[in-house]
Amino acid sequence: MDGIHLLGEWYGCAAEMPEMTNAEALRTLCLRAAAASGMTIVGDRFHQFAPTGVTGTVLLAESHLAIHTWPEHGFVTIDVYVCNYTTDNSPKAEHLFRSMQHALRPERAEFQAIHRGGRDA
Amino acid sequence: MDGIHLLGEWYGCAAEMPEMTNAEALRTLCLRAAAASGMTIVGDRFHQFAPTGVTGTVLLAESHLAIHTWPEHGFVTIDVYVCNYTTDNSPKAEHLFRSMQHALRPERAEFQAIHRGGRDA
């Protein structure tokens, strides 16, 4: 059951963006980006931290998106993981990852792509 | 904002275990294991696939747990990610990861630990 997991650490995101500070705004962005990437959304959960910051996940038929924001540091971490069960979902994962990065506009980004699992399960 | 992300791919998990097939059983396991590891749970969402399989996440003040099961293949992927914002949460992450592995008893396990972010954000 091979899959691909994209991990990002984004620095210098604009702290005042609603998508950085407000759970509902970030949720809306994530759901729209996942749908626009051709993903099948099966659930989501977002949490608003006080005084600021959001953590959230979107459950996908393809696997998941997870995101955490620290507006006070302009910092975001994001995970997009897809399993290639019946088809290669890597292009969808890359599209979703790029669209989130385009929306949150980090000044500096660290990126890792990790292959997970083999084809023997 | 440094953190540690533990990734597992587990093969040969017993397909008939309720925690492999049933969303509520897996949710109960994850919530108990997270609490027992000293994590602060701020939300969760689990989804039952038909005919079988579960995907779910637990949102943590420390970051998140994500898990996917494919009972028909005895296969599980798991992520435990913690950010070390005010304290080093790595021991909690390792405890949670190990307790989940102990519960699901894979015959074979692949493991990666990835350091994320720097100390400059």
Q: Kindly state whether residue A104 falls inside one of the protein's structural domains.
A: yes
Q: Which of B5, B30, B64, B83 is catalytic?
A: B83
Residue B63 annotated to the active site: yes
Tell me what pLDDT residue A82 has.
97
Instruction: Give Cα separations from B31 to B14, B26, B38, B42, B65 (angstroms).
Output: 20, 9, 11, 11, 10
Tell me what pLDDT residue A58 has.
98
Is the per-residue pLDDT at B120 higher than 70? no
Contacts of A46 in chain B (CB under 8 A): 43
Contact B57 A46 (CB under 8 A): no
Q: Kindly state whether residue A60 falls inside one of the protein's structural domains.
A: yes
Calculate how close chain A gets to B107, using CA atoms only, in Å. 12
Angstrom distance (rounded) from CA B65 to CA B25: 16
Tell me what pLDDT residue A1 has.
77
Angstrom distance (rounded) from CA A56 to CA A45: 6
Contacts of A121 in chain B (CB under 8 A): 9, 11, 70, 73-75
What are the strands, taking DSSP E only, across A1-121?
Answer: 3-11, 41-48, 54-60, 63-70, 75-83, 108-116
Tell me what pLDDT residue A120 has.
56
Q: Kindly state whether residue A90 falls inside one of the protein's structural domains.
A: yes
Residue B99 annotated to the active site: no
Residue written as tokens 């955490």?
A68
Q: Kindly state whether residue B76 falls inside one of the protein's structural domains.
A: yes
Contact A112 B112 (CB under 8 A): no
- Taking only the tens place, the pLDDT of each residue in B32-57 is 999 999 999 999 999 999 999 999 99
The complex's ipTM works out to 0.94
Tell me what pLDDT residue B107 has.
97
Q: Kindly state whether residue B19 falls inside one of the protein's structural domains.
A: no
Q: Which residues of chain A have pLDDT under 50?
A: none
Q: Indicate the number of domains in chain B.
A: 1
Q: Kindly state whether residue B102 falls inside one of the protein's structural domains.
A: yes
Interface probe for B, chosen from A40, A57, A70, A119 (most Cβ of B below 10 Å), is A57
Q: Kindly state whether residue B9 falls inside one of the protein's structural domains.
A: no
Angstrom distance (rounded) from CA A103 to CA A106: 9
Q: Which of A13, A37, A63, A64 is catalytic?
A: A63
Question: What's the token pair of residue A54?
Answer: 């959001």
Helix (H) or strand (E) holding B20: helix B18-21
Contact with chain B for residue A83, Cβ under 8 A: yes
Q: Kindly state whether residue A38 falls inside one of the protein's structural domains.
A: yes
Name the nearest CA neighbour of A80 among A69, A71, A93, A92. Answer: A93
Question: What's the token pair of residue A26?
Answer: 């970030």
Q: Containing domain of residue A42, as a range? A: 3-116
Q: Domain holding B38: CATH number?
A: 3.60.90.10
Contacts of B64 (CB under 8 A, 6+ apart): A55, A57, A66, A68, B57, B58, B79, B80, B81
Residue A43: count of CB within 10 angstroms of its CB: 17
Tell me what pLDDT residue A118 has.
73
Contact with chain B for residue A27, Cβ under 8 A: no
Residue A68 annotated to the active site: yes
Question: What's the token pair of residue A39?
Answer: 């993903």
